[in-house]
Structure 1
Amino acid sequence: MWDKLLFSIVVILVTLRVFESLRLRSKLPPGPSGSPIVGNLFQVPTSRPWLVFDKWTKQYGPIFYLNIAGQNTIVLGTQKAAADLLDRRASIYSDRPDYIVLNLLTGGMHWGFSRLDDLWKRQRRRVHEGLNAQASRDYFVHQETESVIMLAQMLTGPEKFLDHFQRVSTSLTLTIVYGWQPLLDSSHPVIALIDQFNRQVFLAAAPGSYWVEFRYFNWMKYLPRWMCAWRRDAESAFQRISITLEGLSAGVQNQINAGDNTASVAGKLLRTVHKEDLYEANWDLASVYLAGAETTSAQLAWFTQAMILYPETQRLAQEELDRVVGPYRLPTFNDYDHLPYIRAMVKELLRWRGVGPVGIPHRLTQDDYYEGYLLPKNTICYANVWSLHLEKEIYGDDAEHFNPGRFLDDTGKLVSSIADTKDEGHFTYGFGKRICVGRHVANNSLFIHIAYLLWAFNITAQVDVDGKPNLPDPLECREGLSVRPTPFCCNITARSADVADIVAQAKADRGT
């Protein structure tokens, strides 16, 4: 009896929502026609959806509509449309979807995915104090030290370059966030636990991972706990990670009490936060770590692939390094203003293969109109960053290629940034109120890592027995919210016999 009643209620709810969608359809932006009830759910691929979105942008225009199992969804495929809505109307486009599984995983405390409320404002404000442009300078010494360790490991095990990128990314993030000493590998049990949790978070945030997230199937969240493995797993993970995060913050507090003034985001935050806000602060810090530890390593992997596919850019960067730095010392942040090509390389890397080709969705908090189309309240808005970064009217006819020169003038100086990109030249860091708060630290990390790598090494393609280069496919990738290239091979060789001695001396000078 109860089974029949539940089934009838579900059918009625779904039917009402279908009729509601049909009534609104004539006022909505154009888009691919879908199937009854599920709409476009099965037309959006689970692998590389940005490529299909790019195709639909060319077919339907800069804004198109999808019905994802009852959820009104729009995709923005041009820089103008994305900036018009997500930036210039940020006050109503900066909310997030109500992630059911992810909020169970994080207790609703991960501010990168949380709703636009007072809690989010407090958390974002606290983190900004430790990651803004001025504060990011405090971490230069850590970024240089980690780069030295990276070079030392590359000299002895160049074939493990992807592992070295993961280590430097994880270790540096722990140092900046929690004040840890550099790690020589990534086998620490706390790192393994957090990284496992991070994968769960990224899975929960990825579109289509759980049926309960779709509007027509939200009723599943009311099912008994014993019927929902996704609920049990998420709640258990939250309990485990909460204990770990409390321990990490307690460790920093002990250092503060002992008089340690090491610069870290946690140190700056815990010196000012009230005791009753400590739980929130733990998740402020965790959110920074969860984002930083994954993304930098992925970007370095894409950078290595770019060096293989576009060797001329490597040559130009090394000529600049040889002219400014020379062969007898490592680059430093003091060289920053004199290395415009390296800085342009960072901008181009984040444009060419940013780790978020679709980005994290926004949610519209009230009815809106754009270009004559109705955009209903609670519509989910994706900016297809992939399409935005391929606009030939903005980046030129070679937009699909890696070319740092597009950010330089005829004299080799950085040109004014692309409009609406907040001086970045790309949209990888997001939009409006949701723009990445750690972007200054991320840019600095990529600058110094790339400068060190190209000062020390030549990065080339492996060749087969016939002398043919084995080139990676830049469209092949491993997916999640952070997209990285499919593992590939390359040759990484020291540029001179002096590199090993200079790196060893620098390592000794830093006590590592």
Structure 2
Amino acid sequence: MGQQCWIILTGDKVVSDLLQKRGGKYSSRPPNYYFFQILTRGKGFVNCPYNGRYKMLAPIILEILSQRAVKEHSNLIDSQYRILMQNIYRTSTNTNDSMYPKCHFQLTSLNIITTLCLARSIKDTEDPFYKEFEAFMKFHLNLIQVTNRLSDFFPILRWFPNNKLYHDVIKDRRMIETLYGKLIEEVKNDNEKKPCFIRSLLCKVDEGILDELDVVYIINNIFSAGTDTVSSSLTWITAALANNSHIQDKAHQELDQVIGHSRLPNASDEPNLPYIRAIIKEGQRYCGPVYLGVSHYTEEDDEYNGYHIPANSVVILNQYGIHMSEKIYENPKEFKPERFFGIKESSATLAKGKFEDRDHYGFGAGRRLCAGIHMAELELFLGVSRLLWCFKIENASPLDKIGKPILINLEKAHLGATVWPEKYHVKFIKRHDNVEKVLLNE
């Protein structure tokens, strides 16, 4: 890529051999003057090089987002997915029209992060914080796209400073520090001292382990990585289900047999709902929220199967390429949950095991595996199981010549740091008479 050497990994074995078995060599991040030194002041976590600072921050992040911590907060996450179902039910009942559910999923994902980080939630998309965060993310995601890093590929461009980019990076940095600085002050001024992630991080400041800018950029990483990914996954899976009513039928049958009509599924039901679990794994494979993982970087030469991998190479995990490989998945273009039926292990467990047993690569690989994987898996289970318990999802696209809705085109996507399907329309049809009672009266 220009003068930058890119190594593209599009095989499960090579990912295992390099990113997992040789993780010490392949766990850094590409250096970038604008975005690491200027934008984050070297304080970020997701894009932090694999150095002493990263090794200091990793245990703090993993403690906050550990499986144990997620279990402790499961009631908060559970309540937000009940509210999501209530909102979708009210919207579909009041308008009796089709909808694009993206904003509902985004609000839920953001609410979970604000609840965990601040111990408060957002009422709706008209909330000032929601609008401020949405505007910030739009600007931020546009700024970090690869076309703004041309000087990495063509070093001669460094002789011609990009003043607009520089000023945009400074603007973005101010937005980050203003937005999350206000949240930190809100936690500091909370007389009830409610427990939350920010308060836990501020304790690290008191201990001299972190400073307040560290807290700002750690929270920025949690908000940025923890909102769009899950909501994008749910938006994709909803479209895939609308295209495949027979898969919904099987899921409805399983839910009726295991859960019945008197309550919503909860986290403890996950082992008893293998088909729901298979739908989620297939959704992450077939239409995950990212096509290429966050870039890895090697700072020393390496040799692999006759290939010379030079130092200072960018190493890309091609998730989409692996997920669409016929060598790994039979008929990969088909949405087929049955390929994962009977797999009991979580994606977090499988990601640390043999590559032959891996379900998908949606959460990355190696030492930089997504730190929020446990929370994401719980959210996806509650989201998918409850959507299917409450509703039949109908494709509301225009009709074709024989009177059937045109399938939602899942080949088309809006590409960026997170991948979204093109806007579509579906209807959420109440499945049984107890839906309203369970959602609104409990």
- TM-score, normalised on structure 1? 0.78
**Which whole-Å CA distance do the structure 2 matches of 1:126 and 1:71 have between them?**
33
Report the Cα offset of residue 160 of structure 1.
Answer: 4.5
Alignment map for 1:66-465 (pairs within 5 Å): 68-103=1-36, 104-158=38-92, 159-181=99-121, 183-217=122-156, 219-220=158-159, 223=161, 228-255=163-190, 258-261=192-195, 264-274=196-206, 276=208, 277=210, 278-395=212-329, 397-409=330-342, 417=350, 420=354, 425-462=359-396, 464=399
Report the Cα offset of residue 122 of structure 1.
Answer: 2.3
The corresponding residue for 1:42 is none
Report the Cα offset of residue 473 of structure 1.
Answer: 0.9
**Secondary structure of the structure 2 residue equivalent to 1:91:** coil
Contact 1:100 1:212 in 2 (8 A): no
Higher relative CO (Cα under 8 Å, sequence separation at least 6) belongs to 2
The corresponding residue for 2:95 is none
User: Structure 1's 413 and 426: CA in aligned 2 closer, same or farther, altered over 3 A?
Assistant: closer
Spell out, residue by residue over 1:252-281, the C-alpha distance to the aligned partner (whole angstroms, 9 max, x if none): 2333x53424xx322333344436523212
Contact 1:358 1:383 in 2 (8 A): yes
**Which whole-Å CA distance do the structure 2 matches of 1:254 and 1:451 have between them?**
38
User: Structure 1's 459 and 70: CA in aligned 2 closer, same or farther, altered over 3 A?
Assistant: same
**Which whole-Å CA distance do the structure 2 matches of 1:99 and 1:196 have between them?**
24
One-letter amino acid matched to 1:337: P
The corresponding residue for 2:408 is 472
The corresponding residue for 2:427 is 491
**Which whole-Å CA distance do the structure 2 matches of 1:413 and 1:429 have between them?**
18
Spell out, residue by residue over 1:6-61, the C-alpha distance to the aligned partner (whole angstroms, 9 max, x if none): xxxxxxxxxxxxxxxxxxxxxxxxxxxxxxxxxxxxxxxxxxxxxxxxxxxxxxxx
Q: Which runs of 5+ in 1 are unaligned?
A: 1-67, 507-512
Contact 1:369 1:375 in 2 (8 A): yes
Contact 1:96 1:114 in 2 (8 A): yes
**Which whole-Å CA distance do the structure 2 matches of 1:93 and 1:204 have between them?**
26
441-450 or 97-106, larger mean C-alpha shift: 97-106
Report the Cα offset of residue 135 of structure 1.
Answer: 0.9
Greater Rg by CA: 1
The corresponding residue for 1:7 is none
Contact 1:344 1:404 in 2 (8 A): yes
**Secondary structure of the structure 2 residue equivalent to 1:393:** coil
One-letter amino acid matched to 1:129: E
Contact 1:110 1:283 in 2 (8 A): yes
**Which whole-Å CA distance do the structure 2 matches of 1:72 and 1:272 have between them?**
39
377-386 or 327-336, larger mean C-alpha shift: 327-336
Spell out, residue by residue over 1:193-228, the C-alpha distance to the aligned partner (whole angstroms, 9 max, x if none): 3333333443344333342232434524x73xxx61
**Which whole-Å CA distance do the structure 2 matches of 1:500 and 1:173 have between them?**
27
One-letter amino acid matched to 2:199: G
One-letter amino acid matched to 2:177: S
**Which whole-Å CA distance do the structure 2 matches of 1:443 and 1:164 have between them?**
18
Report the Cα offset of residue 480 of structure 1.
Answer: 0.7
**Which whole-Å CA distance do the structure 2 matches of 1:236 and 1:79 have between them?**
40
Spell out, residue by residue over 1:457-496, the C-alpha distance to the aligned partner (whole angstroms, 9 max, x if none): 0002125285211211111111111101011012211112
The corresponding residue for 1:63 is none
Query: What is the aligned residue count?
Result: 428
One-letter amino acid matched to 1:496: H
Report the Cα offset of residue 248 of structure 1.
Answer: 0.9
**Which whole-Å CA distance do the structure 1 matches of 2:300 and 2:242 have between them?**
47
User: Structure 1's 160 and 72: CA in aligned 2 closer, same or farther, altered over 3 A?
Assistant: closer
User: Structure 1's 421 and 504: CA in aligned 2 closer, same or farther, altered over 3 A?
Assistant: farther
**Which whole-Å CA distance do the structure 1 matches of 2:298 and 2:344 have between them?**
40
**Which whole-Å CA distance do the structure 2 matches of 1:414 and 1:438 have between them?**
17
Q: Which of 472, 481, 484 is the aligned partner of 2:417?
A: 481
243-252 or 187-196, larger mean C-alpha shift: 187-196
One-letter amino acid matched to 2:332: A
RMSD: 2.3
Q: Which runs of 5+ in 2 are unaligned?
A: 93-98
Report the Cα offset of residue 390 of structure 1.
Answer: 2.4
**Secondary structure of the structure 2 residue equivalent to 1:258:** coil
User: Structure 1's 117 and 201: CA in aligned 2 closer, same or farther, altered over 3 A?
Assistant: farther
User: Structure 1's 292 and 95: CA in aligned 2 closer, same or farther, altered over 3 A?
Assistant: same
**Which whole-Å CA distance do the structure 2 matches of 1:248 and 1:275 have between them?**
20
